[in-house]
C-alpha cells in the first residue's frame, strides 16, 4: 500500500491536492488505534498524519490546550496530569477491544471519532470540549474554525460537525480543547444485584439525586466476574456501580449519601480511588467484552430505561454478553461468531422495538463490516443532508470515502 507521511498542514494540503489531481482517494491515519472502526476502506493510499505531533500551547489557568492532531493522547494526559487537570470527557482506550495494542491513540483521532467514557453523563462528549481547529478539506485548502477560548462567536460551529465525522470531511491538523481540574479523589458505591432486582431504576435514582454522580453502570454476573477488582469479580452476580468524584470531603460525603439509596435494594460496598480507577477504566474501554476476540461487538445508545429490555430482546435471539454504562443508556453487546451478520438484524429489530436509538458495529470481520450497516442507517432526508455536507467539504470523495456510509 502506497503512503505519505505529513509533518505540517502544508504537507497535508499538498498530498490532498495531488490526490485530487490523480483521482486517488486517501485513508487518513494517525496512530491507527481506531482503524478498525467503520466500513473497510477500498483505498490504496494512506496519508499518515502522526508526524503532526506536539503540544503547541497550554494555559492551565485558562483551561485550554492546543496541540497538533497527531500528538499521542498519552502525552496530552501526562501534561495535564502534571498540572492537576484532565480531559473531562474521559476518552476511552479501545485498543484491547479492537486488537490494535501496538498503536498509540492520538488527540486528533479521539476528537474525530467523538469518543467519551463513563463521565459523559456528567461532562458531555468530546465535541462539547472541542473549541477550535485547523484542518485541510477535500479541496486541499487549509482553514480554521472556532478558537482558543471557551466562549467565542465564530459563525457556524464546525467543531460539532467535525467531531464524529471520522475524517470524512477534512484532515485535522491542529486542535484546541477545553480541560478541567482533575478530581482529588474518587469513590464508587457497589450494589450486589440479586436475582429479580431491577437495577436500572436504582441507577436512575442515583443520577437524579443531588450528589453529582459521574458514572453509573451495571455489569451482569458473567461480565462482572472478569473484572480485576476483587470486590466486583467475587460478587457471584450482577454489580451496579455508582461513581462520585471531587475534593475528598465532598466525594466521601456524597458516597455516604448515595449508599442508603442503593442499600435499600441489596448488599452494598464502597471502593476507594485505586479500585475505582481500575473498574471505570474497564467499563469505559469495554475491556470486559474484549474476549473472545471472535465475537462481534456492538455499542448502542438509547433511552436508559429501555436498556435492560433491549438487551433481553437481543439475548432471546442470539447468545451475547452485555455491559451497561450511562445509567443504562449505553449498551455494549458481544455477540457470538455464529451470527453470520454479527447480529445486525437482531440488534436493529430490538432497537426499533424500544423506540429507536443508535447502534454501531464496533468490531467484526472486514467482510461483515462491508456487508452490513456499521453505523445507524440514516433516514432519507438525513442521508441527503449528510451527502450535501460531504459534497461541500470533499466533493471528489478523496478523504476516507465510504468509512461511515457507502458513497459518502
Strands 2-5 and 180-181: unpaired
Q: Is omega for the bond preceding 6 within 30 degrees of 0, making it cis?
A: no
User: What pLDDT shows up at residue 2?
Assistant: 82
- How far is CA 36 from each of CA 54, 329, 338, 368, rounded to the nearest angstrom? 25, 24, 21, 12
User: What pLDDT shows up at residue 345?
Assistant: 95
What distance in Å separates the CA atoms of residue 286 and residue 120, rounded to the nearest whole number? Answer: 15
Neighbouring residues of 152: CB distance < 8 A, sequence distance ≥ 6:
131, 132, 146
- How far is CA 386 from each of CA 25, 131, 158, 168, 402, rounded to the nearest angstrom? 19, 23, 14, 11, 12
Pick from 173, 106, 176: which is nearest to 142 by CA?
A: 173
**What SS3 state is found at 385?**
helix
Q: Is the dihedral of CA 101, 102, 105, 109 positive or negative?
A: negative
User: What pLDDT shows up at residue 340?
Assistant: 78
User: What pLDDT shows up at residue 28?
Assistant: 97
Domains of the chain plus CATH, in order, are: 1-182+377-398+401-405 (3.30.465.10), 185-284 (3.30.70.3450), 287-371 (3.30.70)
User: Which residue positions in the chain have pLDDT lower than 50?
Assistant: none
User: What pLDDT shows up at residue 49?
Assistant: 97
Hey, how many other C-beta atoms are within 10 angstroms of the C-beta on 41? 17
User: What pLDDT shows up at residue 147?
Assistant: 82
User: What pLDDT shows up at residue 1?
Assistant: 61
End-to-end CA distance of the chain: 22
Amino acid at each position: 500500500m502506497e503512503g505519505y507521511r505529513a509533518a505540517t498542514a502544508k504537507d497535508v494540503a499538498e498530498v490532498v491536492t495531488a490526490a485530487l489531481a490523480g483521482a486517488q482517494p486517501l485513508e487518513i491515519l494517525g496512530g491507527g488505534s481506531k482503524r478498525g472502526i467503520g466500513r473497510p476502506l477500498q483505498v490504496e493510499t494512506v496519508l499518515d498524519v502522526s508526524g503532526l505531533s506536539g503540544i503547541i500551547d497550554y494555559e492551565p489557568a485558562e483551561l485550554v490546550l492546543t496541540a497538533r492532531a497527531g500528538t499521542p493522547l498519552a502525552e496530552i494526559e501526562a501534561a495535564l496530569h502534571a498540572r492537576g487537570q484532565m480531559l473531562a470527557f474521559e476518552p476511552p482506550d479501545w485498543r484491547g477491544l479492537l486488537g490494535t495494542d501496538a498503536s498509540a491513540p492520538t488527540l486528533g483521532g479521539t476528537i474525530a471519532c467523538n469518543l467519551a467514557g463513563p463521565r459523559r453523563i456528567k461532562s458531555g462528549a468530546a465535541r462539547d470540549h472541542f473549541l477550535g481547529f485547523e484542518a485541510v478539506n477535500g479541496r486541499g485548502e487549509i482553514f480554521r474554525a472556532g478558537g482558543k477560548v471557551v466562549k467565542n462567536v465564530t459563525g457556524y460551529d464546525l467543531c460539532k460537525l467535525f467531531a464524529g465525522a471520522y475524517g470524512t470531511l477534512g484532515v485535522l491538523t491542529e486542535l484546541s480543547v477545553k480541560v478541567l481540574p482533575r478530581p482529588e479523589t474518587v469513590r464508587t458505591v457497589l450494589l450486589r444485584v440479586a436475582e429479580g432486582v431491577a437495577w436500572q431504576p436504582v441507577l436512575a435514582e442515583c443520577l437524579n439525586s443531588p450528589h453529582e454522580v459521574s458514572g453509573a453502570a451495571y455489569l451482569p454476573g458473567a461480565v462482572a466476574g472478569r473484572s480485576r477488582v476483587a470486590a466486583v469479580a467475587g460478587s457471584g452476580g450482577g454489580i451496579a456501580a455508582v461513581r462520585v468524584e471531587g475534593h475528598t470531603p465532598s466525594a466521601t460525603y456524597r458516597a455516604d449519601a448515595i449508599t442508603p439509596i442503593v442499600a435499600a435494594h441489596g448488599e452494598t460496598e464502597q471502593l476507594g480511588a485505586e479500585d475505582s480507577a481500575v473498574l471505570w477504566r474497564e467499563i469505559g474501554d469495554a475491556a470486559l467484552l474484549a474476549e473472545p476476540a471472535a465475537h462481534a461487538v456492538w455499542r448502542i445508545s438509547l433511552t436508559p430505561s429501555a436498556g435492560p429490555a433491549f438487551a433481553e430482546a437481543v439475548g432471546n435471539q442470539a447468545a451475547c454478553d452485555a455491559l451497561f454504562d450511562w445509567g443504562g443508556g449505553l449498551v455494549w453487546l458481544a455477540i457470538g461468531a455464529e451470527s453470520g451478520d454479527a447480529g445486525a438484524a437482531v440488534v436493529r429489530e430490538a432497537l426499533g422495538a424500544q423506540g429507536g436509538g443508535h447502534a454501531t458495529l464496533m468490531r467484526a470481520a472486514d467482510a461483515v463490516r462491508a456487508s452490513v450497516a456499521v453505523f445507524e442507517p440514516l433516514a432519507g432526508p438525513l442521508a441527503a443532508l449528510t451527502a450535501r455536507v460531504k459534497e461541500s467539504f470533499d466533493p471528489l470523495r478523496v478523504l476516507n470515502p465510504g468509512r461511515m456510509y457507502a458513497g459518502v
